[in-house]
Amino acid sequence: MDLFVINRHGDSKPEVTAEEETAKLATVLKRIERKKQQRIRQREREREKRQTPKKNPKQKTTVPKRPPKTPEADEFIEPQPKIKRPPDLKSFTILGASTAAKKPKADRVLPQWLANPTVISSDLQELTCKVSKLKELDKGLREQLKANGVKYLFPVQAEVIPWVLQSRQNADIMFPRDVCVSAPTGSGKTLAFVLPVVQTLKQFTVRKIRALVILPTQDLAEQVFKSFKLYTQGTRIEVGLVSGKQMFQAEQKQLVYFNECFGFVSKIDILVCTAGRLVNHLKSTNGFNLQALEFLIIDEADRVLESVQDDWLYHLEKHIYTIQNRKVLNVCTLQRQRAPQKLLFSATLTQDPEKIEKLSLFQPKLFTSSVVENSNESEEKPMILTGKYTTPKELTEKYIVCSKDVKPLVLYAFLKRENLTKTLVFTHSVESAHRLKILLKSLFKKRLKIEEISSNLKGKSRDEFISSFTKGEVDLLICTDFLARGIDLPGVNCVISYSAPKYLKTYIHRAGRTARAGESGLAVTLLHEEQVPAFKTLLKKEIEEVEVGVEELEGLSEKYKKALGKLKEAVNEEQKVGMESVLSKKKAFKKLKKKVINSVK
Ligand SMILES: Nc1ncnc2c1ncn2[C@@H]1O[C@H](COP(=O)(O)OP(=O)(O)OP(=O)(O)O)[C@@H](O)[C@H]1O
């Protein structure tokens, strides 16, 4: 019976006396007062800081040392009145008593599949897997690869393609395991899923959507769609794209048609889409059916999983697992219940089991190139731990420290000195990209062709700018982070982060637009003095600092002043034009309203 006794505070002796209660209350009040004083002092310090004039950045500043702890500072830390426990109750939790004892820190235990990955080499210089020797791939695909100039497979392809194909061999009896792949930017992840999917779907004769590929943006969806198109040439496999670039009705026509005999029939086998557009079709396209899905591929998986766009995962799951025929033990019913094999890809794949849990992966298999070896010498075999993300080996990383007011000038001086072309410059906002373009254009005059590209730009002009940048007709493309992920622009020489990246993932993806497919590339980040420590902590490694000296900037001050003047004029002009167009639209609307009212009368 003792086991079921709840020991309540107060049940057995030590009763809290009125004095103890008041003492406790006094401590709490003192603590609140102390916090208040701390906040006031902090605010005063910040105000003082703001009021003191800025020092020359070159001048060394001495950081004031923290004053040693005075008894005054400690005066509020009073010992709490402890409730005495009778010796026989020590092992019991007394409700209401202070639980001051610290809990021991729990070790992070990864699930088996995360702790035992297959390690992929990130070396793209010494390739060993010849396409002609990869017997798991069928002849048609091997020939297609050769025709596209691919002689050797990259490490991620050499590991993942045979594994996925093998996992499909007994797919009718055993569910194939799901796959997660984390490999650096530009290491060839796209072909690692395109080839096994195409080869597997070749065996099916009835047309149904059997592979669904989800991507975070329109441009990426189009890129992957083109890859599938290339490798399905000469087969009966049809690929579709729904990303919002086309009108909704046009997309619907591309997906299904109605047949008197069979009802709704799918027109495609593989569907490449963005999450938002997928949900629209799940809700509104008659006959859109994903119940024969064999593959669910999520590229840039961490980004797609972060996106809560229309709650895509909920709608997709609901659609896949809805059983129209409710007769249990019917073969059709059982078959419909089968989950598709999920393939997740990213250069920054989340290793947070909680996030991945959302996808209910089935016995997942992890392929990763970001590993750290446990250098504990006492252990016989070094343990391999999945580490943070890796950058391509061919990438050179540097940073420049400059003050805010001369940042565009420093960028100009650096670009001029290094004679850089085919360079991407990342800014944090559309306005910032626009202003930087105007400034650089008036600084460089006609020596460099500079364009800006942002999500504000509509599809066609965006494609045009991207294509002329790829051809080398545009030297400098100023952009926002919408271009940071996944886009494959061949031959980018340099990536400049004009605005410092806030997150490591942002940095990795921006920098990953260069040094792709084994080519070399340079990533430069412009930082203000106070951003340097945080940036170094973010990268967790030392990178080289490049100097742009004062003497380089001095001769440019007049030019810079003129460029700033031109920028002001241009911005004012744009604002005027914008206002005028808003006013004229308002006028037109008023006129229309009057007309409608009159016609009703
Ligand atoms: N085996 C190969 N041999 C030569 N080039 C290849 C090979 N595989 C892929 N490539 C090329 O490498 C480039 C990068 O490939 P891909 O876009 O698949 O990289 P990724 O790993 O998906 O990059 P990101 O993480 O940035 O999306 C592409 O231009 C592609 O054509």
Q: Mean of the pLDDT values across residues 579-588?
A: 81
- Tell me, yes or no, whether 36 lies in a domain: no
Taking alpha carbons only, the member of 343, 359, 348 closest to residue 193 is 343
Which residue minimizes the CA distance to atom 8 of ligand 1? Answer: 188
**Separation of CA 188 and ligand 1 centre (Å):** 3
Nearest atom within ligand 1 for CA of residue 227? 31
Token couple for 98: 């202070």
Q: Which of 384, 414, 442 is the last residue of a domain?
A: 384
Q: Mean of the pLDDT values across residues 15-23?
A: 68
- Residues 272 and 418 both lie in one domain: no
Spatial contact of 495 and 476, defined as CB atoms under 8 Å apart? no
Among residues of the chain, what percentage have pLDDT more than 90? 47
Bigger pLDDT: 251 or 312? 251
Which of 151, 189, 395, 510 most suits a substitution to test ligand 1, by most atoms within 8 Å of the C-beta?
Answer: 189
Q: Is 520 helix (H, G, I), strand (E, B) or coil?
A: coil
pTM (two decimals): 0.76
Rg (CA), the chain: 31
- Residues 174 and 272 both lie in one domain: yes
**Separation of CA 60 and ligand 1 centre (Å):** 46
**Separation of CA 574 and ligand 1 centre (Å):** 40
**Separation of CA 302 and ligand 1 centre (Å):** 19
Nearest atom within ligand 1 for CA of residue 220? 27
**Separation of CA 516 and ligand 1 centre (Å):** 7
484: left (phi over 0), alpha (psi -120 to 50) or beta: alpha
Find the residues whose C-beta lies inside 6 A of ligand 1.
150, 152-154, 157, 185-191, 347, 486, 488, 490, 512, 516-517
Lowest mean pLDDT among 109-118, 216-225, 500-509: 109-118
- Residues 305 and 434 both lie in one domain: no
**Separation of CA 518 and ligand 1 centre (Å):** 9
Spatial contact of 167 and 341, defined as CB atoms under 8 Å apart? yes
Q: At what angle do helices 189-201 and 155-167 cross, to 10 degrees?
A: 30
Q: Mean of the pLDDT values across residues 408-421?
A: 92
Which of 133, 152, 190 most suits a substitution to test ligand 1, by most atoms within 8 Å of the C-beta?
Answer: 190
pLDDT confidence bin for 593, thresholds 50/70/90: confident
Indicate whether this complex's ipTM tops 0.90: yes
Which residue minimizes the CA distance to atom 12 of ligand 1? Answer: 517
* Per-residue pLDDT reduced to its tens digit, 47-95: 887 776 555 544 444 444 444 444 333 333 444 555 555 656 566 666 6
- Residues 371 and 495 both lie in one domain: no
- Tell me, yes or no, whether 409 lies in a domain: yes
Spatial contact of 321 and 337, defined as CB atoms under 8 Å apart? yes
- Tell me, yes or no, whether 102 lies in a domain: no
Bigger pLDDT: 196 or 385? 196
- Residues 364 and 438 both lie in one domain: no
**Mean pLDDT across the chain:** 82
Which of 228, 488, 505 most suits a substitution to test ligand 1, by most atoms within 8 Å of the C-beta?
Answer: 488
Report how many domains make up the chain: 2
Which of 154, 160, 481, 483 most suits a substitution to test ligand 1, by most atoms within 8 Å of the C-beta?
Answer: 154
- Residues 379 and 413 both lie in one domain: no
Spatial contact of 255 and 281, defined as CB atoms under 8 Å apart? yes
| CATH code of 473's domain | 3.40.50.300
pLDDT confidence bin for 97, thresholds 50/70/90: low
- Tell me, yes or no, whether 282 lies in a domain: yes
Which residue minimizes the CA distance to atom 31 of ligand 1? Answer: 188
The whole domain housing 537 covers 395-555
- Tell me, yes or no, whether 105 lies in a domain: no
- Residues 426 and 317 both lie in one domain: no
- Residues 482 and 521 both lie in one domain: yes
Which residue minimizes the CA distance to atom 25 of ligand 1? Answer: 185
Which residue minimizes the CA distance to atom 3 of ligand 1? Answer: 150
**Residue 497 φ/ψ, nearest 5 degrees:** -90, 95
- Residues 347 and 415 both lie in one domain: no
pLDDT confidence bin for 17, thresholds 50/70/90: low
101 pLDDT more than 90: no
Among residues of the chain, what percentage have pLDDT more than 70? 80
**Separation of CA 102 and ligand 1 centre (Å):** 50
- Tell me, yes or no, whether 583 lies in a domain: no
Sheet holding 211-215, edge to edge: 118-119, 365-368, 179-182, 341-346, 295-299, 211-215, 270-274, 239-242
243 pLDDT more than 90: yes
* Per-residue pLDDT reduced to its tens digit, 263-280: 899 999 999 999 999 999
User: What pLDDT is recorded for position 86?
Assistant: 60
- Residues 380 and 411 both lie in one domain: no
**Separation of CA 65 and ligand 1 centre (Å):** 51
- Tell me, yes or no, whether 262 lies in a domain: yes
Q: Which of 355, 384, 413 is the last residue of a domain?
A: 384
Q: Is 559 exposed, middle or buried (0-12, 13-18, 19+ CB in 10 A)?
A: middle
Which residue minimizes the CA distance to atom 9 of ligand 1? Answer: 188
Which residue minimizes the CA distance to atom 22 of ligand 1? Answer: 189
Q: Which of 322, 356, 384 is the last residue of a domain?
A: 384
Which residue minimizes the CA distance to atom 30 of ligand 1? Answer: 188
Which alpha helices (DSSP H) does 346-402 contain, by range? 353-357
* Per-residue pLDDT reduced to its tens digit, 548-573: 888 888 888 888 888 898 888 888 88
Q: Mean of the pLDDT values across residues 142-165?
A: 96
- Residues 357 and 430 both lie in one domain: no
User: What pLDDT is recorded for position 306?
Assistant: 81
- Residues 215 and 265 both lie in one domain: yes
User: What pLDDT is recorded for position 521?
Assistant: 95
Among 370-379, 441-450, 546-555, the range of highest mean pLDDT: 441-450
Taking alpha carbons only, the member of 347, 382, 373, 372 closest to residue 156 is 347
Tokens 């930087």 -> residue: 436
Q: Mean of the pLDDT values across residues 351-375?
A: 75
194 pLDDT more than 90: yes
pLDDT confidence bin for 384, thresholds 50/70/90: very low
Nearest atom within ligand 1 for CA of residue 153? 1
What are 365's strand-pairing partners?
179
User: What pLDDT is recorded for position 478?
Assistant: 95
- Tell me, yes or no, whether 53 lies in a domain: no
